[in-house]
Amino acid sequence: MVRRLEDLLRVPVALLDDRGQPLAGEIAEPGQVRVDEFVPQRVELADGVLLAHPALLPHPARPTLWLVAELRGTAAARAEIVPPALAVAAAAVQRWLLAHRLELERDARARTALLGDLLRVDAEPSAQLRRRVADAGWQLGGWHVGLRIGAVPTLDLVPYTAEISRVLRAEGVEAVVVEHGEGWTGWTTFAQEPTPARVRALAARLRAAHRKLRGSIADHMGVGRPHPWPEGLAGTVAEATDAARLAATRPEAGYFLQVDQLGMAQLLLEWTRTDTFEPAARALLAPLRDQPGDLIRTLSAYLDAESSIAETAAVLGVHRNTVTARIDRVERLLGVDLGHRDERLALHLACRTVTLPGR
């Protein structure tokens, strides 16, 4: 459509999203379009004029796309005849968007209903359910690892499902992703029972995908353990849901939690919520307070990352050398050896209790 408009109008034409970013075509100054004003616009340029027309949709009641024509030099003399052409083209864009949205919503409802039926199965799925699963291209055999992705608040889920699948695929994870509640539920499948090394590698890829999605689409992510066959799917999804619920409260872990860590994490939370433990924890970590480098948060993230310097650096958004230097300072200030498991556990408990919300 953009190319056809450029041929007809003999000027640059672009299609912009609701942030003013080009989706198709190119113009020199897309930032001149006021995307928060939902009416046709005319913007005077130094050597011409910019004409924009919104494609308004009833749900949500704002333009999702803008058609923009850039008329410079002698082309500016045709500024009066271009707006009607943009209006006709914008109406076509609107019709396409509405039809595409209806198709996406219909597919999403079908996927959500099928997922609900699968999660309610407590025995061998019926032949009809297996046919529906096959039609959807889902796999019931093998070993499944469940995913639960919490969406950022007020996000419209349906348009972003394909983007989540794309990001996962870019990290080497082929997964089913379904709109479910206030986020997405999904799973990836292994033909054979995965080794612990393969599960760790999968968790690392999922964490990398979560970092890409975090903030704009995803808020938190949980990962379940491998479970076999159709009856295991509900179990791994339930574990992933529990892990995601806990991950939502753990910024020091990057809002990501694998269920293998869930039992210890829940135990830590229960222990650190007692009033008798808090004074001891504060006394233990007192040498780190008022020190430069946010040492308590660094130590907490380091212990949550299973003593991985690289993972801690990624969670905190700092260089690996910075994490190494901070951990060395922590060991010197506290007089501890973080290679000793008992000392690590005590410090993990202490960090958790002093970083709980409200403390």
Percentage of residues of the chain with pLDDT beyond 90: 63
- C-alpha 199/C-alpha 183 separation (Å) is 23
Proportion of the chain in helix, strand, coil states, percent, rounded to 5: 55, 20, 25
pLDDT-based confidence at residue 62 (cuts at 50, 70, 90) = low
Give 147's strand partners: 186, 223
Whether the pLDDT of residue 274 is over 80: the answer is no
The arithmetic mean of pLDDT across residues 79-98, rounded, is 92
Residue 156 gets which letter from DSSP?
-
Whether the pLDDT of residue 122 is over 70: the answer is yes
Which domains are assigned to the chain?
A: 2-100 (3.40.1840.10), 138-253 (3.30.70.1070), 273-354 (1.10.10.2840)
The arithmetic mean of pLDDT across residues 21-42, rounded, is 90
Which pTM does this prediction carry?
Answer: 0.66
Cβ–Cβ contacts within 10 Å for residue 46, how many?
A: 6
pLDDT value, residue 272: 65
pLDDT value, residue 281: 83
The arithmetic mean of pLDDT across residues 178-190, rounded, is 96
Average pLDDT of the chain, as a whole number: 89
Phi, psi of 318 (to 5 degrees): -125, 175
The arithmetic mean of pLDDT across residues 230-235, rounded, is 90
Least confident of 195-199, 205-209, 250-254, 310-314: 250-254
The arithmetic mean of pLDDT across residues 52-76, rounded, is 82
Among residues 354, 254, 353, 356, the alpha carbon closest in space to that of 308 is found at 254
